[in-house]
Amino acid sequence: MTAYRQLETHYQEISVIDEAASILNWDYAVMLPNGASENRAEHLALLAKLSHERRQDARVGDWLAEAEGKLDAADEEEAFWQRANLREIERSYRQATAIPADLVEAKSKAMTRCETRWRQARADADFSSVLPELTEVWNLTRQEAEILSEASGLSLYDALLDLYEPDGRAADIDALFEDYSAFLPDFLEAVLSKQSAQGAFQAPSGPFSIQDQRALGERVMGVLGFNFENGRLDVSTHPFCGGTPADVRMTTRYDEADFTSALMGVIHETGHGLYEQGLPLTWRKQPVGKARGMVMHESQSLFMEMQVGRSPAFLSYLRPMLTEAFGGSGEAWSLENLKRLYSKVERSLIRVEADEVTYPAHVILRYRLERAVLAGDLALADLPGAWNQGMQEALGVQPPHDGLGCLQDIHWYMGAIGYFPTYSLGAMAAAQLAEAARAAVPDFDDLLAQGDLAPVLEWLRRAVHGKASSLSTQDILREATGKPLCAAAFKAHLQSRYLGG
């Protein structure tokens, strides 16, 4: 067996371990009894350690050196993918050899303990109760960042960001976020003024049973192209998409008084799921066959939610499904009212329920706070106060308690530090991709109005999903849209949707 084939076999085994951990993580979030959390922490920690030990195996370095320039591809296309796979393996090896296995195991256990405590702390709106566990997670994450920084020459924050968005840099994010921060205040005032002049819309009245909401969500997932032979939908405290490309595990949460949030949440997670299901089958268990970082992943969820799901065209298709599902009739269920309902803009407290105009403000706040904590400029104990002040400055609102403030997101409590900026970068990428898709797919909006997503999904398969990690995020965007990531298409989209008509 050639050195390259040795690498493929080795990383296929790593992929299987990681997939097992992903399914156990889904089970932890969806089904695990509270008393079993410590036991599950041991399972996940061991799998994380096994995966990490295989990534830092000294043989990988030897195989990489031997495989360089000695591929055994049958044609140029396969050679392209093999070269890209070697690049991604080298990245994985470089990161893994820098971090001790015992740190990986310790962090995994700490994250599971912290996430378990966070669930109760969030319900109790009691930040202090989770602070000890959160402090441990942050301390271990800082150790990880310091090690990666020293090995790579990157800043502490960039070293963590690189784990979620390969080659992502805070300096580029700062420029994009400063651009949007300058755009938002006047634009938000203009949108709120316009909506106020239009008068109040009517919210459809419930209750909306969870059973009916779930049936509707699954029906819409099917319209978008989700393959239920290789995936399912469940309920969790924080919606997410996990599992594997062959076994996509999506979750949402329901409110019987309001169906709108859960439905758009399902559409959002379906975007993630479609991306996973669209990854090239031949390369799925190799590093090159994985999704290309979280910016592209978030672009796919926000493409489906914002560019498709909330579009006037798709809402015209969705309206009869809503009235059928919930027996709705009258003005509240008219297309015009539903369009206003799904394009409502307000200064709100909850990120996952925020509109697309104010959503980036939530992300920018979290990005700046986590950078300040990592740099030592903000103590974790002062996070609630800094959060409340930041919300006041960004959107003019303050949470009445920490459950609606710094406890609302799971990310920091599960050790995902450096993740938040990818949400809004993904929104910008989604707008660029939608602009390109409209140019490439004839009658784009007419197809949405008919519920025919096949041509749009086919374009995404070619432009994004099928590329996997063979190219960088910026190169995928350049090939698909003709330019690197910028805020222009996103701002143009907002101008058109919220002030154009």
Interatomic CA distance for residues 59 and 65, integer angstroms = 10
Count of CB atoms situated within 10 Å of the CB of 239: 21
- Identify the residue whose tokens are 């409110």: 255
Phi-psi bin for 468: left (phi > 0), alpha (psi -120 to 50), beta?
left
Alpha helices in 344-414 (DSSP H): 359-375, 383-395
Quick one: 455 exposed, middle or buried, by C-beta within 10 A (0-12, 13-18, 19+)?
Answer: middle
Among this protein's residues, is 269 annotated catalytic? Answer: yes
Helix (H, G, I), strand (E, B) or coil at 206: coil
List the beta bridge partners of residue 471. Answer: none
DSSP letter string over 47-74?
HHHHHHHHHT-HHHHHHHHHHTT----S
- Identify the residue whose tokens are 């996940």: 44
Pull the structure tokens for residue 215: 């049936």
Q: Which residues contact 257 (CB under 8 A, 6 or more apart)?
A: 206, 207, 208
Single out the catalytic residue among 88, 269, 305, 370: 269
| Structural element, H or E, at residue 195 | helix 170-198
Alpha helices in 37-169 (DSSP H): 37-55, 58-67, 76-98, 101-124, 131-152, 156-164
Q: What is the DSSP letter of 411?
A: G
Query: Which long-range contacts does 277-281 make (Cβ < 8 Å, 24+ apart)?
Result: 277/226, 277/227, 277/230, 277/231, 277/245, 277/248, 278/457, 278/460, 278/461, 278/464, 278/465, 278/466, 279/245, 279/465, 279/466, 279/468, 280/466, 280/468
* Distances, alpha carbon 436 to alpha carbons 180, 215, 309, 362, in Å: 21, 32, 17, 27
Are 306 and 426 contacting, i.e. CB atoms less than 8 angstroms apart?
Answer: no
* Distances, alpha carbon 366 to alpha carbons 156, 302, 389, 409, 492, in Å: 16, 19, 12, 10, 25
Phi-psi bin for 203: left (phi > 0), alpha (psi -120 to 50), beta?
beta
| Structural element, H or E, at residue 213 | helix 210-224
Put the strands of the sheet holding 241-244 in their side by side order.
231-235, 247-252, 241-244
Helix (H, G, I), strand (E, B) or coil at 487: coil
Are 461 and 390 contacting, i.e. CB atoms less than 8 angstroms apart?
Answer: no
List the beta bridge partners of residue 247. Answer: 244
Show which residues are catalytic: 269
